[in-house]
Amino acid sequence: MNAVQPVRISPIYSLLLTARPKTLSAAVIPVMVATALVKFEGTPVTPWISVFALFSAIFIQIGTNFVNDAIDFKNGADTETRLGEARAAQSGWFSANAVLLMGLGFFGLALLLGIPLVWLGGYPILAVGIVSLLMGYCYTGGPYPLAYVGLGDLFVILFFGLVAVGGVYFLQTQTLTLPAVVAGLQIGLLATVLIAINNLRDIDQDRLVGKKTFAVRVGPRWGRFEVVVLLVLSFALNIFWLLQGAIFAALLPLLAVPVALRVTMTLLNTQASREYNRLLALSALVHMLFGVMMSVGFLIR
């Protein structure tokens, strides 16, 4: 498939857009929440652990974005008719192979940053790191791409929620507790909202090229229901923090409720269009605001 006529922008700016900076909160928030939770529970925090985990997670996220860009274009999922923002291979900024190689390069950087973490955390962290890198590639690549068979949503809950929060918590404490699992689940659910809305926006194009996302498999009605369930469940789990005595961690994230309601009402009353790009931005705001406020709540006890 040939790319559309390239839009003339600087190479640095095109690289920045390909990294999709709006998505990077999905890598930052889990590290922030896990570190704040450790502090809340009275365990001393080792700053360098969170710093290395943060940048490793960011590079995995960027690498996944680059690989996704290249492979979706090669598979025909990204064309000039797509409703989402411009992509590097589809726009002709770089060749698909160049984008793929750059994605693998970012995975390599994540691997290097993970070496001290593996040295500290041992085989469990080694296993988590290897699986995270493989899944970052297999989200759209490999013989059984997760996003193409409807497992992308589950992947995000696991790796941008449970694994991300739980991994940092384990590195800081050498253990894994129920609070870390609950926090990871909440953050993962909110991160999955972005994927779910993205798939609803692209449902027609994905169906044409055989990309069987969850939205394609269940249809737009149930795809919208999925988003509502993800949002409701993530906020409802704040009851757990009330029972744990973490009052501020339970209440401060509720500041994100008005934005979440706006996302929900707009989604339920509109069809897939470029308007969903704005919903994605609002969903990212919900994820970020929820995570930041939860972290602040843990820190002020």
CATH code of the domain in which 226 resides:
1.10.600
Residue 2 is predicted with a pLDDT of: 45
**Residue 97 resides in a domain:** yes
**Residue 156 resides in a domain:** yes
CA angle 215, 209, 195 (to 5 degrees): 35
Residue 3 is predicted with a pLDDT of: 44
**Residue 239 resides in a domain:** yes
**Residue 256 resides in a domain:** yes
Q: Which domain holds residue 157?
A: 11-300
Instruction: Kindly write down the DSSP assignment for every residue of 102-162, as one continuous string.
Output: HHHHHHHHHHHHHHHHHHHH-HHHHHHHHHHHHHHHHTT-SSS-GGGTT-HHHHHHIIIII
Residue 206 is predicted with a pLDDT of: 80
* Per-residue tokens: 189: 């659910």
Give how many domains the chain has, as a whole number: 1
Q: Identify the residue whose tokens are 């994820």.
A: 287
pLDDT digits (tens), the chain, 301 positions: 444 444 556 677 777 777 777 778 888 999 999 999 999 999 999 999 999 999 998 998 888 888 877 777 776 655 555 555 666 666 667 777 888 888 889 889 988 988 999 888 888 888 888 888 787 777 766 666 777 777 888 888 988 899 999 999 999 999 999 999 999 999 999 999 988 888 888 888 888 777 788 888 888 889 899 999 999 999 999 999 999 999 999 999 999 999 999 999 998 888 766 777 888 889 999 999 999 999 999 998 7
**Residue 5 resides in a domain:** no
**Residue 3 resides in a domain:** no
Q: Identify the residue whose tokens are 């040939």.
A: 2
**Residue 221 resides in a domain:** yes
Distances in whole angstroms, Cα of residue 240 to Cα of each of 43, 181, 245, 246: 20, 11, 9, 9
Alpha-carbon Rg for the chain, nearest whole angstrom, is: 19
**Residue 4 resides in a domain:** no
